[in-house]
Amino acid sequence: MSEIKKQIAILGSTGSIGTQALEVIAANPALFEVYALTANNNVDLLIAQAKIFRPEMIAIANETHYQKLKYELSDLPIKVFAGYDSIAEVASMQPVDIVLTAMVGYAGLKPTINAIKAGKKIALANKETLVVAGELICDLVEKFNAAIIPVDSEHSAIFQCLAGEGNNPVEKLILTASGGPFRTKSLAELEYVTKNEALKHPNWDMGAKITIDSASMMNKGFEIIEAKWLFGVSPDQIQVVVHPQSIIHSMVQFADGSIKAQLGLPDMKLPIQYALTYPDRIKTNFARFDFAICSQFTFEEPDTERFRNLELAYYAMEKAGNMPCILNAANEVVVDAFLKEKIGFLQMSDMIETVLSKADFIKNPTYDDYVRTDSLVRLLTNNMIQNKMV
């Protein structure tokens, strides 16, 4: 690897991916330097991170925290910004080598577009960017000669399996899913599960929103849409299998029938590091997998009767246009409502399905269409939730 330190901008540094990325950077001070950190609302953690890593600049989306941020860091030569637009600007700063987009949800779209237009290497942990606007993003990547390296464990696994394969034809991508905390619960039981139960993922330590998405299988639905755009395959070339042990992170089946799999313990620091060091691999002190301890791998077909979100995601992907954008906006609203205990677990899928049938479909959306769709769908979904409560 080059002896020049890579300058890293972490968008969403206070979340699960962002904090783990900082662990990777701290463990490799000769390779990486933090150029910028951004957060949505967690001002106290952002201040603590800034004091440790001394970035050139920081930004927080919630502008009410600006004065506190500025005051707490007044003795350090760190530029302080606030507002959503400032985060988008950070993504395109000239000295930045790699932009790690670890923001949650639709909020990651505009900063990722800015980073692409600046020709940056993007370590993409914000799957909603490709879910919402996959076609637009792929066109921009080609136009501005940017590069996207996936950070999600499943897409990183596929990316690693494809390394060195050149133009060898891919027959199928096989995305593995843990099944989440409710894998063995019946449909009747799912009606009464609580948010606290849903937040207890059996294998992964993630933020609240993605943990709920995992429990409902929407996370896997988003991943199939993301895989379509990342790897240029058709919907019928993407299969989901439930693998409760979460050791095989995903697989690729080639035209000759051979299957390559990427294995490892469920630890996001490995795919984060791989995205930052690609194409190199560097030595780590991460825990190693022991076949003697986990001697059995099992696989199941996903149950789309109990977990309908997977089917809804396939529908949105095949319908294309702005339908995945509709899916994402509705999901963000219902997940927030579930976390606030306004609706039940199964009601999330019911409402998403209704919104998919009611929202205006646009076959060839522009960026402005995506912005408008997101706004209108959130309004529609929130109105449904309020009416449900009356």
CA angle 242–243–246, rounded 5-degree value:
130
State how far the Cα of 351 lies from the Cα of 336, in Å rounded to an integer: 13
Walking along the chain (390 residues) 10 residues at a time, the average pLDDT comes out as 84 95 97 97 97 98 96 97 94 96 90 96 94 96 96 97 96 95 94 92 75 94 97 96 96 98 94 97 93 91 95 97 97 96 96 97 97 97 82
Q: Which of 215, 161, 214 lies closest to 223, judged by CA?
A: 214
Kindly give the pairing relationship between strand 147-150 and strand 170-177.
unpaired
Q: Quick one: pLDDT at residue 175? A: 98
| Cα–Cα distances in angstroms (integers) from residue 25 to residues 22, 60, 337, 357, in the given order | 5, 21, 35, 45
Q: Quick one: pLDDT at residue 3? A: 67
Sheet holding 121-124, edge to edge: 79-82, 57-60, 32-39, 6-11, 98-101, 121-124, 147-150
Residue 177, amino acid: A
Q: Which of 133, 134, 135, 94 lies closest to 115, judged by CA?
A: 94
DSSP states of 44-113: HHHHHHHHHH--SEEEES-GGGHHHHHHHTTTS--EEEESHHHHHHHTT-TT-SEEEE---GGGGHHHHH
Answer whether 114's CB lies under 8 Å from 86's CB.
Answer: no
State how far the Cα of 256 lies from the Cα of 171, in Å rounded to an integer: 8
What residue ranges do the domains of the chain occupy? 6-150
State how far the Cα of 44 lies from the Cα of 276, in Å rounded to an integer: 26
Helix (H/G/I), strand (E/B), else coil: 204: coil
Q: Which CATH class is domain 6-150?
A: alpha beta
| Cα–Cα distances in angstroms (integers) from residue 173 to residues 165, 176, 375, in the given order | 14, 10, 33
Q: Quick one: pLDDT at residue 295? A: 83
Q: Quick one: pLDDT at residue 312? A: 98
Phi-psi domain of 180 (left: phi exceeds 0; alpha: psi -120 through 50; beta: other): left
Residue 217, CB-side half-sphere exposure with 13 Å CA sphere: 26
**What pTM did the predictor assign?**
0.92
Q: Quick one: pLDDT at residue 205? A: 66
What are 38's two structure tokens? 């951004």
